[in-house]
Amino acid sequence: MAQKDINVGIVGGTGYTGVELLRLLVQHPAAKLGAITSRSEAGMPVADMFSNLRGWTDLKFVEPAAAALDHCDVVFFATPNGIAMKDTPALVKAGVRVIDVAADFRIKDIALWEKWYGMPHACPELVAEAVYGLPEVNREQIAGARIVANPGCYPTAVQLGFLPLLEAGVVDIAHLIADAKSGVSGAGRKAEVHTLLAEAADNFKAYGVSGHRHLPEITQGLTQMAGKPVKLVFTPHLTPMIRGIHATLYARLTREVDLQALFEKRYANEAFVDVMAAGSHPDTRSVRGANLCRLAVHRPQGGDMVVVLSVIDNLVKGAAGQAVQNMNIMFGLTEDTGLRQVALLP
């Protein structure tokens, strides 16, 4: 049953995901922001750091120890990897539900997680319980979850694009390819040379070709969809834009199928997946600021290859928006509550 006010805490509110959570939650009719933490900026009014929130909140950043997070109904972790897993056991014990927007609970194989993230897991006993927060796949489990592992940005775009094909069993799962591009906000708000204007502008490059942290997460999800192990080549790229992910996905058909009808039927009742008309080419700005994945499916020259085009805003459907979508499901709200924003153009 839905409750009138959901008392919300945010751990790590000074990054791009944190401010995006704030942007969405201050307009959410059922969310009551109780605390937002930052060790480095404790005492600073949130609106002094993020001027777009002037007039929307009078909260100040507080030290985590002073945030009384155990009095919240739900806590979002918008923190670097490795933080949520340390604090989640105590919160869950106190009856608080947790949505981790980082990667601490996404991968079920603990040894695999430790290999890719380079640290021991602090609460492996809770990983099995955590629900992977892709609503279009795990909606029922999310509703009753104490811990939700919010998917990564690349994994959201890639999995939603491949999902109808794998569920229907119509493609060769041993040769899947995901060629994906992201704006620089996907790298976070920290200062790094490769995201400087003079480095990222007028430039385009691949990275992580030999292996990216999102690969095991994507492969885990695709394997669940297919019901058997899949093999995926995933190549991410950095593009000179602030927001957006464009994933171009390739698979070989193993039997005849009406691809357009397959995608339209699978996503007919999904508020945040838009299957475009046959022959369409979605662009990233069409989802900028909106909690939406826009898809188009192609069969070039009528051959045996399927090409799926998938676009999301990496900070919304790829992070904060999907986290709020998961919160809505967890607390019995209509799924699009507080998430009806129209994408920004131009």
pLDDT band per the 50, 70, 90 thresholds, residue 4: confident
Q: Please tell me the number of Cα atoms within 13 Å of 277 on its side-chain side.
A: 0
In percent, the amount of the chain with pLDDT more than 70 equals 99
Residue 339 has pLDDT above 70, yes or no: yes
Tell me what the mean pLDDT of segment 138-143 comes to: 98
Say which residue, 190 or 291, is predicted with more confidence.
291
pLDDT digits (tens, 9 = 90+) for 287-313: 999 999 999 999 999 999 999 999 999
Q: Tell me the pLDDT band of 96, cut-offs 50, 70 and 90.
A: very high
Q: What distances in angstroms separate CA 33 from CA 7, 21, 48, 69, 116, one per listed residue? A: 6, 11, 17, 11, 34
| Among 171-185, 188-202, 231-245, the least confident range | 188-202
The reported pLDDT for the residue numbered 202 is 95
- Interatomic CA distance for residues 227 and 215, integer angstroms: 18
Strand partners, 305: 252
Structure tokens at 155: 């994994």
Q: What's the rounded Cα separation, in Å, for the pair 161 and 151?
A: 14
CA distance 110 to 246: 30
Asked whether the beta carbons of 30 and 2 are under 8 A apart, the reply is yes
Q: What is the pLDDT of residue 190?
A: 87
Which tops the pLDDT comparison, 284 or 190?
284
- DSSP letters of 254-319? SS---HHHHHHHHTTT-TTEEEPPTT----GGGGTTSS-EEEEEE-GGG-SEEEEEEEE-TTIIII
Q: Which range is least confidently modeled, 4-8, 27-31, 110-114, 310-314? A: 4-8
With pLDDT > 90 as the criterion, what percentage of the chain qualifies?
A: 95
Q: Which residue has the tokens 């996905």?
A: 249
Phi, psi of 269, rounded to the nearest 5 degrees: -110, 20
Q: Give the pLDDT confidence score for residue 191 in this predicted structure.
A: 86
Cα distance between residue 48 and residue 144, in whole Å: 37
Task: Between 278 and 191, name the one with better pLDDT.
Answer: 278
* 17-45 core/surface letters (b: 16 or more CB in 10 A; e: else): bbbbbbbbbbebebbebbbbbbeebeeee
Taken in order of first residue, the domains within the chain and their CATH numbers are: 6-129 (3.40.50.720), 154-314 (3.30.360.10)
Catalytic residues: 153
First to last CA, the chain: 40
Report, as an integer, the average pLDDT of 234-250: 97
The reported pLDDT for the residue numbered 278 is 97
**Given CA atoms 238, 304, 273, 1 in this order, what sign does their dihedral have?**
negative
Question: Whose structure tokens read 């999907």?
Answer: 322
Q: Residue type for 157, please?
A: A
**Which run of H or of E encompasses 251?**
strand 245-252
Pseudo-torsion of CA 57, 59, 60, 66, nearest 10°? -160
Q: Average pLDDT in the 157-178 region? A: 98
Q: What is residue 180's three-state secondary structure?
A: strand
What pLDDT sits at residue 145?
98
**pTM score:** 0.96
Q: pLDDT by residue (tens digit) across 256-276?
A: 999 999 999 999 999 999 999
Beta bridge partners of 250: 177, 307
Maximum Cα interatomic distance, the chain, rounded to a whole number of Å = 61
* Mean pLDDT, the chain, integer: 96
Predicted pLDDT at 236: 98
Residue 3: the pLDDT is: 53
Cα 37 off chain centre by: 21
Tell me whether residue 221 is exposed, middle or buried, using C-beta atoms within 10 angstroms of its C-beta: 0 to 12, 13 to 18, 19 or more: buried
Residue 1 in this model has a pLDDT that exceeds 60: no
Taking only the tens place, the pLDDT of each residue in 175-189 is: 999 999 999 999 998
